[in-house]
């Protein structure tokens, strides 16, 4: 097994859902479920904790245009409910669901690439006693 791996861009590995270390294995077992480890290089994905990051980005960048579409349809045309169901609903689903997986992959790959860890309070010896 290889012991040293070249640094790979989190953008290329993460958006494709590939292992951040080898670039060959898969990050996901399901749509958003992370694998326990890479099937190619054995990287343990226990370090990965993107939390609500993907949902936050989708809310900020995808949900807002969807809401604007619905509001615009209502104000400009007084659109009936069936128009909202046929236009706004699918538009919202198409702009909100597909970006979740690439964003989660990018965040996991970025955590690996930048060696991100949970923050810890640094204490001096005088504070410990």
What is the pLDDT, as a whole number, of residue 61? 87
Would you say the C-alpha torsion 100, 66, 82, 86 has a positive or negative sign? negative
As a whole number of angstroms, the distance between CA 56 and CA 36 comes to 24
Bridge partners for 44 per DSSP:
37
| Residue 97, both tokens | 């669901």
pLDDT tens column, 95-110: 999 999 999 999 999 9
pLDDT tens column, 73-97: 999 999 999 999 999 999 999 999 9
For residue 46, what is the enclosing H or E element?
none
- The residue with greater pLDDT, 127 or 74, is 74
Contact 83, 73 (CB under 8 A): yes
């Amino acid at each position: 097994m290889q012991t040293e791996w070249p640094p790979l861009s989190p953008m290329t590995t993460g958006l494709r859902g590939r292992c951040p270390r080898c670039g060959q294995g898969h990050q996901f077992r399901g749509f958003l479920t992370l694998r326990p480890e890479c099937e190619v290089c054995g990287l343990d994905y226990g370090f990965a904790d993107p939390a609500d990051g993907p949902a936050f980005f989708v809310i900020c960048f995808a949900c807002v245009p969807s809401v604007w579409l619905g509001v615009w349809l209502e104000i400009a045309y007084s659109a009936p409910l069936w128009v909202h169901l046929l236009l706004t609903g699918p538009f919202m689903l198409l702009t909100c669901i597909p970006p979740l997986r690439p964003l989660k992959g990018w965040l996991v790959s970025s955590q690996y690439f930048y060696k991100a860890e949970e923050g810890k309070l640094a204490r001096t010896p005088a504070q410990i006693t």
